[in-house]
Structure 1
Amino acid sequence: MTYDLTNRTAVVTGAASGIGAETALVLARSGARVALLARRADRLADLAEKIKAEGGQALAVAADVTGDLTDTAATVHDAFGRVDLVVNNAGVMLANPIAAGRTDEWRRMIDTNITGVLNVIHTFTKDLTSAAEEGTADLVNISSIGAHLTFPNFAVYTATKAAVTHLSANLRTEFGPLGVRVTNVEPGLTESELASHVDNTEVVDELTTWFEGVGRLTAAEVADVVAYATSRARHVNLRQIMVLPTKQV
């Protein structure tokens, strides 16, 4: 489906694949100008060309959300002007027992899933608050149902997502009075590259069995939720959305 996002300017992080790529597509198809942010420049270039071939507007910007985004913001502003819709989607899911002491994985998840989210918010806060003075402004954070559940071997990942969920709730107390909507989206089992990053074969086997038994959402189905939420009337904020496969409990 498409929605009315005409004249909106969006930034989507983690746009090289999965939920990020599908969100960029549906936002562009709904009339938004979309800046695609991720580290894999080749993937972004292909997606931008696809969007343009469909008549949309897209800008590929290779960027690492864990670093300084000053130049990234300048590139987006030069091409599209002020941003009024930010989708914080970049994330990584790694899984091992705490006893394994995989500090490399802990740092990577904390850096991307928490620090990266904060970097993006900091970079575009002035855009969002300025846009809200004249029209609709949205910050969408992609968290996970894992923010509320417990899974062996996923303690650090779920902790980072719990942080995103709690951050989103608190940001509404700061951004809501300024007219900026904050939406926290918590997908359940979803098609993505996340599971492919796990190097623990036992955990991979468990995930595969779980997917086979419960099923999974497509990335496009989660993207549709993002587009729906951001296309509501300016005074309507869908603040917390859990979206799960029907069989997932």
Structure 2
Amino acid sequence: MTELINDTTLAGRIAVVTGASSGIGEATAKQLAARGAKVALLARRADRLQTLAAEIEKTGGTAFALAVDVTDADTVRAAAEQIEQEFGTVDLLVNNAGVMLPAPVEELRTDQWQRQIDLNITGLMNVVGAFVPQLVTAGAERGVADLVNVSSIAAKNIFRNFAVYSATKAYVTQLSRHLRAELGEKHVRVSAIEPGMTHSELHGHVTDQGVQEWTAGIHDIMLHSEDIAETIVFTASLPPRVNLQQVTIMPTGQPA
């Protein structure tokens, strides 16, 4: 695990991380807080968020936990208002909440299709809609704000039985490119982070036996959540004139 190093790289930044209760979201929240950002933690599992917030506070950071289902637009908007009142105007958003449920399309797992679309696309858009006004305000006032969308290598590479998941992540990457064109002139940097196979709870949700066997076979070469978190922190720490539009992060041993 990457050791947390306390510094002030992001001092004064007000960050929001969705899907913060585990995996990439949890690791990113810790890294942001360790570098001086105030971090609002969003996810459905209140107990996990409270534990994480307490851990961050114990190490000298500042965190605020909010149990939020990002598929509920009204709840997300209410959370955005509460965070602004509690911390101030958000200038760093890590849109990370998502789910991966690969299965052969012939199985017609429409419940899984819908769940991935609801969380990976609709949930992401709910968060964008709730926080972009604050990011634009922050960009105008501070000269820089960041919207980081966590996509996947599956957005562009082909993986058997990943059709719906891959399509949702292709949406995330393409959306990010368009949002950058809209928001860049307003001092809001937009980045799509595309990890390869990474240790996280996503794999625990997979029901397809073939995919389970494949991921088990590459378990030892997978990225760690902390690797992705470090990249997100680096992206947000660059000078305001620099925008990493799209970053692909692969395990060294993963061929595709």
Query: 1:248 maps to which residue?
Result: 254
- Work out whether 1:182 is the aligned partner of 2:190: yes
Q: Which of 211, 228, 231 lines up with 1:222 in the alignment?
A: 228
**Secondary structure, counterpart of 2:123 in structure 1:** helix
- Work out whether 1:119 is the aligned partner of 2:119: no
- Work out whether 1:233 is the aligned partner of 2:239: yes
**Secondary structure, counterpart of 1:133 in structure 2:** helix
Equivalent residue letter for 1:224: E
Distance 2:25 2:8 in 1: 17
Shift of 1:201: 2.1
Query: 1:7 maps to which residue?
Result: 12
5+ residue gaps, structure 2, are: none
Query: 1:139 maps to which residue?
Result: 147
Query: 1:204 maps to which residue?
Result: 212
Shift of 1:100: 0.4
Q: Which of 66, 78, 86 lines up with 1:71 in the alignment?
A: 78
Q: Deviations over 1:186-244 (max 9, x none)?
A: 001111000100112232112111334xx011100110000000011111111111111
Query: 1:195 maps to which residue?
Result: 203
Equivalent residue letter for 2:224: T
Distance 1:8 1:149 in 2: 34
Report the identity percentage. Answer: 49
Distance 2:224 2:182 in 1: 33
Q: Which of 169, 172, 176 lines up with 2:177 in the alignment?
A: 169
Q: Which of 33, 36, 51 lines up with 2:41 in the alignment?
A: 36
Query: 2:93 maps to which residue?
Result: 86
Distance 1:164 1:121 in 2: 11
Query: 1:129 maps to which residue?
Result: 136
Equivalent residue letter for 2:231: V
Distance 1:120 1:89 in 2: 10
Shift of 1:3: 6.0
Distance 2:38 2:188 in 1: 19
**Secondary structure, counterpart of 1:134 in structure 2:** helix
Equivalent residue letter for 1:72: A
Query: 2:51 maps to which residue?
Result: 46
**Moved >4 Å (runs of 4+):** none
Q: Deviations over 1:36-82 (max 9, x none)?
A: 00000000000000000001100000001111212111221121011
Aligned length, in residue pairs: 247
Distance 1:26 1:238 in 2: 19
Equivalent residue letter for 1:177: E
**Secondary structure, counterpart of 2:218 in structure 1:** helix
Distance 2:211 2:91 in 1: 39
RMSD over equivalenced CA pairs, Å: 1.0
Query: 2:32 maps to which residue?
Result: 27
**Secondary structure, counterpart of 2:161 in structure 1:** coil
Distance 2:49 2:57 in 1: 12
Query: Do the aligned residues in 2 keep the contact of 1:141 with 1:168 (CA within 8 Å)?
Result: yes
Relative to the length of structure 2, the TM-score reads 0.94
